[in-house]
Chains A and B, each alone.
Chain A
Amino acid sequence: GEDVEQSLFLSVREGDSSVINCTYTDSSSTYLYWYKQEPGAGLQLLTYIFSNMDMKQDQRLTVLLNKKDKHLSLRIADTQTGDSAIYFCAETLGDYKLSFGAGTTVTVRA
């Protein structure tokens, strides 16, 4: 496909793990990113992974990269109410621009 694709919604119980999936388009993308957007706020860089890595862990966040399938995932362990937000996957296209997915709205329920 021509677009970065993500599922639109995810509902998760507090304390459980969340897994957000993304399919990107360009196998030559050097870095892949996850951004978080809370209501009315900007885009907060959560984490990113270099394309020669398979996995990156940063506290409660784990990023998995499958280059063969152009698949990226973000796992949030022990999901908290403060994790409720929209999560955007983004890839680098060419030298400068980021191409974003439509965002996954994560709702954490008690």
Chain B
Amino acid sequence: EPEVTQTPSHQVTQMGQEVILRCVPISNHLYFYWYRQILGQKVEFLVSFYNNEISEKSEIFDDQFSVERPDGSNFTLKIRSTKLEDSAMYFCASNSGGGGNQPQHFGDGTRLSIL
């Protein structure tokens, strides 16, 4: 069964450094998402992306964050200048239809640790 893959599984970065988290969505999916889960807290929506542009973003997704689909398969989340509070598990998701029309399928996540 096709799945969403994320790399790396664990990323350790010094505060203030840039980090790029990578995702390969399911190949025929058109909508892409990033969520994060701070340890012990609920999963929070960050951003959705369709047709090469952001369709919705949350308050968390400030100017330090950006997303890109650099080629036909990858979907990336960049944090420009990381802060301690960016430490979390970051999940990528994709689906073939927007919103609730098709279920979102999630990757295994990247654990980001900011030192």
Residues of A that sit less than 8 Å from B by CB = 29-31, 33, 35, 41-45, 48, 88, 90, 92, 94-103
Contacts and interface: CB of A to CB of B under 8 A. Distances in A.
22 contacts: A30-B101, A31-B100, A31-B101, A42-B6, A42-B91, A43-B91, A43-B106, A44-B106, A48-B103, A95-B55, A95-B56, A96-B48, A96-B56, A96-B99, A97-B33, A97-B48, A97-B56, A97-B99, A98-B43, A98-B104, A99-B45, A103-B42
A6 to B, nearest CB: 9
Contacts, number: 67
Query: Dominant SS at the A interface?
Result: strand
Interface of B: 6, 31, 33, 35, 41-45, 48, 50, 55-56, 58, 91, 93, 98-101, 103-109
